[in-house]
Amino acid sequence: MNPTTIIEAIERHARERPDAVAITVPGDGGREDLSFTFSDVLERSRRITADMQRAVPEAKRVMILQAPGIDFALSLCACFIAGVAAVPTPPPAAP
pLDDT reported for residue 29: 76
Q: In this structure, are residues 35 and 24 in contact, taking their beta carbons and an 8 Å threshold?
A: yes
**Among the listed residues 63, 84, 59, 61, the one whose alpha carbon sits nearest the alpha carbon of residue 72:** 63
Q: How many other CB atoms are there within 10 angstroms of residue 54's CB atom? A: 8
Contact indicator for 78, 86 with CB cutoff of 8 Å: no
Each residue's pLDDT tens digit, 34-83: 899 999 999 999 999 999 999 998 999 999 999 888 899 999 999 999 99
Give me the pLDDT at residue 94, please.
Answer: 75
CA dihedral of 7, 11, 17, 18, whole degrees rounded to 10: 100
The model's pTM is: 0.85
